[in-house]
Structure 1
Amino acid sequence: MKVLHVVPDDSASESLREAVRLASRRQEVLSFNDDLSCGPIAWGTPRERAAWRSYIHAPILEEDLTTFWHRVETADERLVIWFGRHSASELAFFLALADRLGDRPYDIVEVSQPDGAVGLVPTERLAALIETARPITPEEATDAGRLWQRLRAQNAPFRIVTPVGLASAPIDHFDSAILEQAAKVWLSAARVIGSTMAHNCEPYLQAGDTILLARLVALVEEGELLADGDPWDMRTCRVRLPD
């Protein structure tokens, strides 16, 4: 039976395609290009997600999301879902898939620590992990789908990893972490975002640079940070704390 590997992002797909090649297999890899750990999920539609991504200056095509979900839901191959429970975006990806797939059988590969996310696993180790794929149990699939439905009903701005799974979080959840990495002197916005990510990656990978930049822009608009340049361009803009 043919196999379709489904992974959380483009970085993971590139690594897994190379791993599949190293394992001398001819199997397709399909990647998801959205981060469901942040933004609206109440409707669960590509249009909802595409509109929000455009709002935070990180556009994705509604058609691409529609194509992804159609490909997964109509696949006649054996599905293998890859994700890490220590990554908010990857865990959200898995829960959303579990909700969509319902009682359809599929396999999963869970990436554990120290990597925590599929995209962080070296290619050689990914090749070895191909052999660890196992069928998801009906109980696991049901629990995952129910959790995603609960998170959709809450429709919080963020979803973060906790010791007991994914949980909703408020819009200002990462604001203090961003402000802690700023200073009274001018620093590049990219440096502040990078430092925020570095100081908030243990034990869980909670947020990517795109959504943290959106929160940095909000802090500038609220007067919590000063900006020299366009804050949406973190490569050229500098920010600092007010005097």
Structure 2
Amino acid sequence: MKTTLHFVFTQSGAGCLVQALRKAGRSDPVIVTHDDLSFGPVNSSDRDVRTKWVADELGEPRWINIRTGSERLWDDSNAPDNRKILWLTRRSAMEYAGFLDWLSHLGDAPCEVVDLSEIMVPNQSEQDRSRPPRLLVSLGMLHPDVICPEKFWELAKPLQETARKRYQNLWQQLLAENAPLRVIKGDVLVSAPISFFDSRLMSQVTNKWQNVWKVVGQTLVSGPDDLIEYGDTFVMGRLRALVKSGQLEVQGELRDEVRDSRVRLS
């Protein structure tokens, strides 16, 4: 009997999907790959290359998961006939990059895709329920009580050959470019320099001292509402770099566990 395997690309997305499946009485395994491949080198099988880049560019945050290409691939060699469902959203750079990476290793093996990129969902909070539905930007933001009754797994469709080749060619191009960043542009990911979002971060800083984590939080919500382009790990790393370059100055330590540091324009 075939087992249905679900592949997702954030830890939060895996948690939401597991809860929804269990609520529906399903025991399908959910496999998560959560190395954020929207930043850093991606074309090396040497874990140390990516680890060093993260340490140099982002200050080596403690919770970054660094994996090689082979480790990012689910090994189903003992059960190659399992049904594989990939959960995709092109509105999250991390999830999109994780999907492309996984699909590149899959080759020509059959799989299905639940594409959430154009799914509209109701607002969950009390104060927002009167507002119209919004585009879903991440599986991790989809409440299990919405996933379960809607049975989103029934949206799974076989990945057609033309789409597979388009995705795989896109990832091969990104691997060849091996840029510091991969950012969302329209319907695809494109390579970008490490400084791509610096102006957005700098726009949140003033001549007055502000709490560092307030600036990070403001930067996280300053982009388009229908995209997730980066996380707090990346923003904090760039803030460190801007302090080091002299564009910003800081009071206190810029460590992830320190919550009372302050920052301002130099």
User: Using the alignment, how far apart are the partners of 1:63 and 1:90 within structure 2?
Assistant: 15
Which residue of 227, 236, 244 maps to 1:221?
A: 244
Deviation at 1:32, TM superposition (A): 1.1
Mark the CA change 1:152 to 1:67 in structure 2 (over 3 Å): closer, same or farther. Answer: closer
User: Using the alignment, how far apart are the partners of 2:46 and 2:140 within structure 1?
Assistant: 25
* Matched position secondary structure for 1:167: strand
Mark the CA change 1:111 to 1:61 in structure 2 (over 3 Å): closer, same or farther. Answer: closer
What is the alpha-carbon root mean square deviation over aligned residues? 2.1
* Matched position secondary structure for 1:80: strand
State which drifts further: 108-117 or 19-28: 108-117
- Tell whether 2:201 aligns with 1:150: no
Deviation at 1:217, TM superposition (A): 0.4
TM-score, length-scaled by structure 1: 0.91
In structure 1, the residue matched to 2:43 is 42
**Are the equivalent residues in 2 in contact too, given 1:78–1:106 (CA < 8 A)?**
yes
State which drifts further: 29-38 or 40-49: 40-49
* Matched position secondary structure for 2:196: coil
TM-score, length-scaled by structure 2: 0.84
In structure 1, the residue matched to 2:208 is 185
| AA of the residue aligned to 2:7 | V
**Are the equivalent residues in 2 in contact too, given 1:50–1:61 (CA < 8 A)?**
no
Structure 1: state its 5+ residue gaps.
none
Deviation at 1:164, TM superposition (A): 3.5
Superposed CA deviations along residues 140-194 of structure 1, whole A, max 9, x for unmatched, are: 1111111001011111111111113111111111111111011111111111111
Which residue of 114, 123, 136 maps to 1:115?
A: 136
Map 1:161-176 onto structure 2 (within 5 A). Answer: 161-176=184-199
| AA of the residue aligned to 2:4 | V
Which has more helix, going by share of residues?
A: 1
Structure 2: state its 5+ residue gaps.
120-134
Count of aligned residue pairs for this structure pair: 242
| AA of the residue aligned to 1:58 | P
- Tell whether 2:104 aligns with 1:83: no
User: Using the alignment, how far apart are the partners of 1:75 and 1:167 within structure 2?
Assistant: 35
User: Using the alignment, how far apart are the partners of 2:178 and 2:46 within structure 1?
Assistant: 13
State the structure with more CA Rg.
2
Deviation at 1:44, TM superposition (A): 4.7
Deviation at 1:205, TM superposition (A): 1.2
User: Using the alignment, how far apart are the partners of 1:63 and 1:174 within structure 2?
Assistant: 25
